[in-house]
Amino acid sequence: MKKGQIEIIGLVVIVIMLVVLLIVYFQFNLGNNNDNYLDEVRQSSQTSSFLGAFMKTTNPKVSDLLIRCGGGSCNELDRVVKEMMSEIYPSRKYSFEFKKDDRVMHSIKNCDKTIPQSNKIKENNAVYEVFFWFC
């Protein structure tokens, strides 16, 4: 091989090493998708524990508020959910959807569905279902 060719090979080796270095750097800096998985687990656990406790609450009686909302008066339900959320997760946005016999009766939509959790109750031969999710 001529001297010039050997020098070009040396240059190519250095360039390859630089490229590998950049790939390693960007792979670790940008390609970190594990957080999304953990965020989903965190969000799903928070949503389900909130919804479970919310549906059980009897002061004020949430099942009564849902039945009233099914009848068209949802202000009290909205107020209670808003007050609860401001006490527990003050800075978080949420969305809420309420169905009676599979028909959407009322909703508070601050964002599209992310990881929704739902809970049902059956009262007076009607099924009331609440969907809740964090934004």
Cβ 59 to another protein, closest distance in Å? Answer: 5
C-alpha–C-alpha distance, residues 134 and 114, integer Å: 7
The C-alpha R_g of the chain, in whole angstroms, comes to 27
CA–CA distance, 104 with 118 (Å, rounded to integer): 13
CB 18, min distance to another protein, A: 7
Amino acid at the residue 16: I
| Beta carbon nearer to another protein, 26 or 71 | 26
Among residues 54 and 128, whose Cβ is nearest to another protein? 54
Nearer of residues 14 and 126 to another protein, judged by Cβ: 14
Smallest separation, CB 82 to another protein (Å):
11
Judged by beta carbon, residue 36 or residue 125, the one nearer another protein is 36
Residue 80 CB contacts under 8 Å (≥ 6 apart), including other chains:
60, 62, 65
Residue 63 beta carbon to another protein: minimum distance, rounded to whole angstroms: 11
Residues 6+ positions from 35 with CB-CB distance below 8 Å: none
- Which residue ranges make up the site for another protein (CB under 8 A)? 10, 13-14, 17-18, 20-21, 24-25, 28-29, 32, 34, 38, 41-42, 45-46, 49-50, 52-54, 56-59, 83-84, 87-88
Q: Residue 14 has which token pair? A: 């250095």
